[in-house]
Copies of this chain bind each other. A is one copy, B any other.
Amino acid sequence: MTRLLPLLCFILSFNVLAELRATGDLGIVIEREKGNALIVNTTKHTQLAKIEKLGDLSHASVVFSRDERYAFIFGRDGGLSKIDLLQDKLNKRIIQAGNSIGGAISQDGKLIAVSNYEPGGVKVFSSDTLELVADIPAVYGEGKRSKVVGLVDAPGQRFVFSLFDAGEIWLLDLKNPKTPAIKKFLNTGKQPYDAVIAEGRYYIAGLFGESGLALLDLWNPEAGVKRVLPDYVKDDEKLPVYKMPHLEGWAVAGDYLFVPAIGKHEVWIIDKRQWKLIKTIPVLGQPVFVMARPDARQIWVNFAFPDNNQVQIIDANELSLAKTLAPGKAVLHMEFTPRGEQVWLAIRDDNRLAVYDTETLEEIARLPADKPNGIFFSARAHKTGL
């Protein structure tokens, strides 16, 4: 037995070594109804692991630690789950609120901020331990609390978010997490429902309660929040809005923003020097995500029911439609590989993922997934404003 010891230890340690895994080409796929997270490899198109029972993931989003080892999943039920991508397991899970709508990770990677509906506010946790670091109730008026939406990270260890009920935008500075500094912008527009940050600089909130968009230039916060694109409004009379488009899907390509029109079968092209509409592109349905390939040459658009079995691609050079694809039933989400050679699609009602080559526009791989509704790659760790 003694003579076998080195051999046995060698075998055991070899098994561990054999699993050496880099983290730059990993991703998380959300299985909505089961509440699972799949760990996937984007080079080999394989599923590496399934982490189960993470609660209500019907509107889940994911951010990654700066070393790309951990994924933080924000669930609709206020759950915050930390997944270890190297060990294929749940590292920690807390229920931090009653109803949550997403989160972000600080520039230095040390803080996780979550935006909550109930109780309305932002909670900030240590990314290391998930211990509470700061609690920011979204109090407005006479002691009322607002739902918080559109939370994004910004340079300088800051977060920006909007108060749905209050119509306010708050700029939260956490350089000293124990003493958060908050700059509040009041009366910024009725019922902001989502927001996006463009180029790490422009915070843009969509308004549900009135027309136009609220714009805050983080390079010039003293100029306050401006209203832009006054014609950007849902068109209640003509078409029912099946799904409010995601602002985080807004695509920046050179001087242009490609924006989903609300309730209309159009993508709008905005010149971001002047925040003016310069062209509308008719598309086949109500756009949900309008996303640029990382080199910005292609803009991919998916749609609300009943047109969600198709995807359209806009050529950002020609500013016109280039191609229509029919990937499968209910294309809910799209994620590009970091250098854009491929795009992954979550096709809910076909219970699978599809991988497309963005050059040939051909499907090159399929992976099974149970009712997938979100795909998030680890390269997001290196980006601002997600």
Contacts and interface: CB of A to CB of B under 8 A. Distances in A.
B20 A23 contact: no
Contact of A23 (B22, B201, B293, B338): B22
A42 to B, nearest CB: 8
Interface string A44-84: 00000000000000000000111111000000000000000
A25 interface: yes
Interface string A286-323: 00000001111100000000000000000001000000
Given A13-B13, A109-B43, A201-B295, A339 B66 contact: yes
Query: Interface of chain A, helix or strand or loop or mixed?
Result: loop
B9 A378 contact: no
A52 to B, nearest CB: 22
Nearest to A293: B155
A24 B254 contact: no
Q: In the assembly, how many copies of this chain are there? A: 2
Nearest to A10: B12
A275 to B, nearest CB: 14
Given A255-B273, A273-B255, A378-B24, A157 B341 contact: yes
A200 interface: yes
A160 interface: no
A317 B1 contact: no
A85 B381 CA distance: 19
A329 to B, nearest CB: 29
Interface in A328-359: 337-341, 359
Contact of A341 (B25, B107, B219): B107
A144 interface: no
A304 B156 CA distance: 30
A66 B339 CA distance: 9
A130 interface: no
B297 A219 contact: yes
A105 B86 CA distance: 25
A278 interface: no
30 contacts: A1-B5, A2-B2, A5-B8, A12-B13, A13-B15, A20-B87, A22-B65, A22-B85, A23-B23, A23-B24, A24-B24, A24-B68, A24-B378, A42-B66, A68-B68, A107-B339, A107-B340, A108-B339, A156-B359, A199-B254, A200-B295, A200-B296, A200-B297, A201-B295, A201-B296, A220-B317, A294-B384, A338-B382, A338-B383, A382-B382
Given A1-B2, A16-B17, A20-B87, 7 more contacts: A13-B13, A22-B69, A23-B23, A24-B64, A155-B339, A155-B340, A200-B297
